A = this chain, B = another copy of it.
Amino acid sequence: VNLILLEPGEIDAEARAVVDGIRAAHVREVLKAGPGQQVRVGMVDGPHGVGTVVSVSDASVTLQCGFSSVTPERPRVDLLLALPRPKVMRRLWAQLAALGVGRIMLTNAERVERNYFDTHLLAPGGYRPLLIEGLQQARDTRVPIVSVHRQLRVFVEDGLDEDCPSALRLIADPAAQQSPRAAVGDRYGGRVLLAIGPEGGWNDFERELFAAHGFRQVGMGSRTLRTDTAGIALLALVHAALA
């Protein structure tokens, strides 16, 4: 935890917040911060700030907060991800939030098993704590917008233009010659939408669907990676290309 994130509802009219659980334990045991000391805080989907410790008990920590007037921008990369199996998705939430994504769009695909959608990890109560964990690690406040799309074609044809207007559209393909850096170019200032397929890849219909909607193939050389490894690696490459 490198930042203590507070939900707006946790901050009272006098800018005080009482935190418990992992956040309180972090202040007490890792930061070892006592009354009068300051810790980094952030408001969920709001600005960064500083929290001055007012009191510490075994169960909770009270912080007097002051916030910047500036809310950070959302990360400039959005991710369209064929839903991986629950075990992999569970690990990915925090890592994707830490690397920085504006949106996470989880989709169906021929090679996504139907029962992957039957997990509590696709409900906000399941994934939101994991996203917050990643944001607290990476010191960001912007929670990725998550959406689940069981009909890939309908979403790509009808939903994507609205959700991700005017983004550079890239699709990961092990056979692609072009690197993310080459595809993004040197001074691109806009957003990137990155599509990552299931283990086993997209089928031909899906590939053509993406191609018909402006997605350009990018690759990382000849090594075939697992979805989670590829996702992390490609996100890092796209962020580096945008930096």
Contacts and interface: CB of A to CB of B under 8 A. Distances in A.
Interface of A: 2, 91, 94-95, 98-100, 137-140, 179-181, 220-226, 228-229, 232-237, 239-240, 243
A236 B220 contact: yes
A211 to B, nearest CB: 24
Main secondary structure of the interface of A (DSSP, over half): helix
Contact of A139 (B94, B98, B100, B223): B223
A223 B235 CA distance: 13
B232 A220 contact: no
B179 A233 contact: no
A240 B181 contact: yes
Contacts of A237: 236-237, 240
Given A240-B179, A243-B179, A225 B2 contact: no
Contacts of A2: 224
